[in-house]
């Protein structure tokens, strides 16, 4: 006579540094299995959690457990002591100098804004000695703060990467201060010098910093700043004014924010294999088979991801700052008599505001979510000031009515979203609007820069 065999549920128990393979009959409980494995569980101290972190009651029957599941025994007293030790260690080594970096960057940015927006009132009376002193102080502060930043060994590389922007802003302010802005093309040349100074400083930091994540952040900052300096230098050599250079610089922000996440993950070709393509077609002599990366370690992957994360943070902050600084300068003089330039300015402002508001929807980090939106708020204020000082009569009434309608529509949409409402239709609609804004930003910037007049001049010569 054959004996009946009870069905069992197989699972793994992790406790401390031990791994125990076990099998439990369907009608036994998890607590009985723990006692059978000589695992002592004290109430209010030990809990059992499954792979997803959800607590499993000891009264759970074997038939309710997952076959092949992994269950961990957690000592709450040990976890609490470890967390208290970590909090105490962080409290003893807490760095409260973060406000100093933001203060340095804010003062330098305010100084640069005053110099650039000044139409010759204050800078005209600033002699050579005053400009040299200001540039020396700002340049020395940028160099000193950059050296201090490069020597730090931070726990949170993402926060430290964003703090790097403070010495870069000071270097930019030093370059702006050295040249008088009231002379012809003085403002334009000052911005070029400032961007080159900041870009060179970021390049030196890239070569000097040993920490891979901070080095990646410095290289991204150097790339963005040198691209902006190339734009301003090219427009200066072409004889365009600073407004045109500012419009083009603001026009690359929206596509830059969209392209930035796709250009940050620097790994070998073997990590990116298009399986669908390679399974449907054979290798050819023209294509080389990517070398396999071999065994992949978690530490290496974490280092790559952290470096890409710091690049994303620094790139997004710099591009948002570019929009906040250069877009108001591009809108400071609206050419109402030229419909193409005026339409390009309006299109640039609209596309840039929409892109800065909608692009952060894809992120969860507070810096990535709120820095572009802060830049959008600055741009909205600049647009309001530009239209109120340029337009008059019926045109101003029409613009005010349009802005009121947009505000009412935004309030209608924001209220249900703030209450937790979600809709796939609204999300897809926002994606479409964002794509249109990103695609229209740079062409609108070219129109705002009066590219048509430049092309007419080139064709006529």
Residue-wise pLDDT for 363-377, tens only, equals: 878 888 888 988 988
Query: What token pair was written down for 42?
Result: 């004290």
Q: How large is the average pLDDT for residues 225-240?
A: 90
Whether residue 256 is found in the same domain as residue 235: no
Q: Is the dihedral of CA 409, 410, 412, 413 positive or negative?
A: positive
Highest mean pLDDT among 39-53, 179-193, 357-371: 357-371
**pLDDT surpassing 50 at residue 92:** no
**pLDDT surpassing 70 at residue 168:** yes
Whether residue 175 is found in the same domain as residue 315: no
Whether residue 431 is found in the same domain as residue 461: yes
Whether residue 359 is found in the same domain as residue 395: yes
Q: How large is the average pLDDT for residues 241-255?
A: 90
Residue 317 lies in a domain: yes
Burial environment of residue 8 by CB neighbours within 10 A (0 to 12, 13 to 18, 19 or more): middle
* pLDDT bracket for residue 89 (50, 70, 90): very low
Whether residue 215 is found in the same domain as residue 266: no
Tell me what percent of the residues of the chain surpass a pLDDT of 70: 72
Residue 244 lies in a domain: no
Whether residue 145 is found in the same domain as residue 185: yes
Whether residue 69 is found in the same domain as residue 155: no
Residue 167 lies in a domain: yes
Residue-wise pLDDT for 63-86, tens only, equals: 888 888 888 888 776 654 444 444
Whether residue 81 is found in the same domain as residue 141: no
Residue 425 lies in a domain: yes
What pLDDT, on the 0 to 100 scale, is given for residue 248?
92
Whether residue 37 is found in the same domain as residue 71: yes
Q: Contacts for 112-115 with beta carbons within 8 Å, 24 or more apart?
A: 112/169, 112/172, 112/173, 112/176, 112/194, 112/325, 113/325, 115/173, 115/176, 115/177, 115/181, 115/190
What pLDDT, on the 0 to 100 scale, is given for residue 77?
66
Residue 261 lies in a domain: yes
Highest mean pLDDT among 94-98, 118-122, 356-360, 396-400: 356-360
Tell me what percent of the residues of the chain surpass a pLDDT of 90: 9
**pLDDT surpassing 90 at residue 396:** no
Closest by Cα among 82, 47, 62, 87 to 9: 62
Residue where a domain stops, chosen among 219, 239, 259: 239
Residue 66 lies in a domain: yes
What pLDDT, on the 0 to 100 scale, is given for residue 108?
62
Whether residue 219 is found in the same domain as residue 262: no
Residue-wise pLDDT for 412-430, tens only, equals: 666 666 555 566 677 788 7
Whether residue 209 is found in the same domain as residue 317: no
405 CB-near residues (< 8 Å, 6+ apart): none
CB 211, CB 136: distance < 8 Å: no
Supply the range of the domain harboring residue 387: 249-271+307-321+330-461
d(CA 76, CA 73): 10
Whether residue 345 is found in the same domain as residue 210: no
> Of 153 and 359, which is predicted with more confidence?
359
Domain count, the chain: 3
Least confident of 29-43, 277-291, 339-353, 392-406: 277-291
Residue 162 lies in a domain: yes
> Of 287 and 212, which is predicted with more confidence?
212
Residue 280 lies in a domain: no
């Amino acid at each position: 006579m054959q004996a009946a065999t009870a069905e069992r549920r197989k699972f793994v128990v992790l406790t401390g540094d031990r791994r125990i393979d076990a099998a439990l009959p369907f009608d036994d409980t998890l607590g009985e299995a723990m006692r059978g494995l000589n695992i002592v569980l004290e109430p209010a101290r030990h809990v059992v959690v499954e792979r997803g972190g959800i607590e499993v009651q000891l009264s759970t029957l074997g038939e309710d457990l997952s076959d092949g599941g992994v269950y961990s025994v957690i000592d709450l007293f040990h976890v609490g002591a470890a967390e208290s030790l970590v909090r105490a260690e962080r409290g003893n080594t807490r760095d409260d100098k973060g406000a100093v970096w933001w203060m340095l960057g804010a003062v330098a940015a305010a100084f640069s804004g005053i110099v650039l927006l000044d139409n010759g009132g204050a800078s005209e009376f600033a002699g050579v000695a005053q400009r040299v002193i200001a540039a020396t102080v700002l340049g020395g502060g940028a160099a000193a703060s950059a050296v201090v930043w490069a020597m730090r060994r931070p726990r949170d590389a993402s926060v430290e990467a964003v703090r790097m922007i403070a010495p870069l802003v000071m270097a930019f302010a030093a370059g702006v201060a050295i040249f008088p802005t009231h002379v012809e093309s003085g403002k334009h040349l000052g911005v070029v010098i400032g961007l080159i100074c900041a870009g060179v400083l970021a390049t030196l930091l890239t070569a000097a910093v040993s920490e891979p994540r901070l080095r990646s952040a410095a290289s991204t900052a150097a790339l963005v700043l040198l691209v902006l300096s190339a734009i301003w230098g090219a427009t200066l050599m072409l004889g365009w004014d600073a407004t045109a250079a500012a419009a083009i610089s603001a026009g690359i922000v929206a596509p830059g924010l969209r392209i930035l996440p796709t250009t940050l993950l620097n790994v070998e070709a073997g990590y990116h294999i298009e399986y669908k393509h390679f399974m449907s077609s054979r290798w050819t002599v023209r294509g080389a088979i990517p070398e396999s990366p071999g065994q992949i370690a978690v530490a290496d992957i974490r280092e790559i991801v952290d470096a890409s994360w710091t690049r994303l943070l620094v790139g997004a902050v710099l591009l948002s700052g570019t929009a906040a600084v250069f877009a108001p300068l591009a809108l400071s003089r609206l050419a109402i008599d030229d419909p193409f330039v005026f339409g390009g300015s309006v299109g640039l402002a609209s596309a840039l505001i929409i892109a800065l508001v909608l692009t952060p929807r894809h992120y969860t980090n507070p810096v990535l979510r709120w820095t572009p939106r802060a830049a959008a708020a600055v741009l909205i204020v600049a647009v309001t000031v530009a239209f109120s000082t340029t337009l008059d009569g019926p045109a101003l009434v029409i613009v005010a009515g349009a802005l009121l309608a947009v505000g009412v529509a935004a309030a209608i949409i924001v209220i249900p979203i703030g209450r937790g409402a979600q809709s796939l239709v609204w999300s897809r609609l926002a994606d479409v609007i964002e794509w249109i804004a990103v695609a229209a930003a740079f062409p609108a910037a070219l129109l705002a820069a009066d590219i048509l007049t430049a092309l007419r001049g080139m064709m006529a010569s």
